[in-house]
Amino acid sequence: MEFRLIERIRELTAQPRDDVRLGIGDDAAILAVPVGQELVAAIDTLVDGVHFPHGTAAADIGWKSLAVNLSDLAAMGASPAWALLALTLPDADADFVDGFAAGFARLAQSHRLALVGGDTTRGPLSISVAVHGFVPPGKALTRDRAQVGDAILVTGTLGDAAAGLHALQRPLAVDDSRAALREFLIERLNLPTPRLAAGAALRGQASACIDISDGLVADLGHICNASGVGAEIDAALLPRSSALMSLYDDASALRFALAGGDDYELCFTVPGKKLSDVQSDLSRIGCGVTRIGRIVEGSGVRVRGADGEWLVDEPQGWEHFA
């Protein structure tokens, strides 16, 4: 049964690439890194009930398991090429595998990413995906080069995924006219959009970059720690969707945007002289971008409320072992 599942995954995710010398079917893949490119690799694990709610559709799990990894490549300014998949299943559920592979393939094929190997085993439902991509030498985005005076920007809107999870766990009483707003938030949780085009556009422009997986405050804090700087952001500037603002009060919407996580938007810093160019470049590729603050001397992240006062004890975001 294991080999039938592997064959089914291979059939559904087939993506020919010239740089794949040998893919699924042997003990290991043989891959050719293009001349003049550096290899960027990342891996993430998703666990049932931790990274996606119990009962999430198999196709959505397949999409998200790849999307969160592609988001890491986006944060490095890399273009995706290959993936490895380790799939742990409670039982050999062919229908689940078909749905999972279809969701995975839908995202992979849109970025010409080839699944080149992996493993299947029995146990509690969890998925590990390793992705590999390319970036021109010396052009990768990192977390450690933010400078005092840099602007802080984010792509897209913040807080939607956390609100979507809240809507699933504590169903809102919404009428038919607002049901679509609730579904929008849930889709943002289940089907995040990795900002690969934005990441590539930021090469040579952004001084530091990270994707927002654990929450804005927590992830911007990683940039601050790596760069030896502090950050100040204005709560009033945080981009929030009309769906979020329509279904939740201001305090909840702010909490989701600051610490909810799972949005997989990019948070990055840009020197003032490059700000206009970056905003124009991202607008040209259809990616919304918002300036939310600045890099300052010191350490940590401070949030200024709408009243101009600094927020105290703002939520810090997700911690796996808290």
Q: What single DSSP character describes residue 27?
A: S
Q: What single DSSP character describes residue 246?
A: H
**Alpha-helix residue ranges (DSSP H) falling in 111-175:** 160-169
The pTM assigned to this predicted structure is 0.92
In this structure, how many other beta carbons lie within 10 angstroms of the beta carbon of residue 130? 18
Q: Taking the alpha carbons of 288, 157, 316, 291 in that order, is the dihedral positive or negative? A: positive
What is the per-residue pLDDT for 169? 86
Cα–Cα distance for residue pair 255/314, rounded to 1 Å? 8
Helix (H, G, I), strand (E, B) or coil at 264: coil
Cα–Cα distance for residue pair 58/45, rounded to 1 Å? 16
Q: What are the chain's domains? A: 2-135 (3.30.1330.10), 151-304 (3.90.650.10)
Cα–Cα distance for residue pair 207/90, rounded to 1 Å? 44
Q: Mean pLDDT of residues grouped by 10 in the chain (322 residues)?
A: 62 80 88 96 92 91 96 98 94 88 93 91 94 97 98 98 91 72 94 98 97 96 98 97 95 95 96 96 96 97 91 61 36
- Beta strand 289-296 pairing with 208-211: unpaired
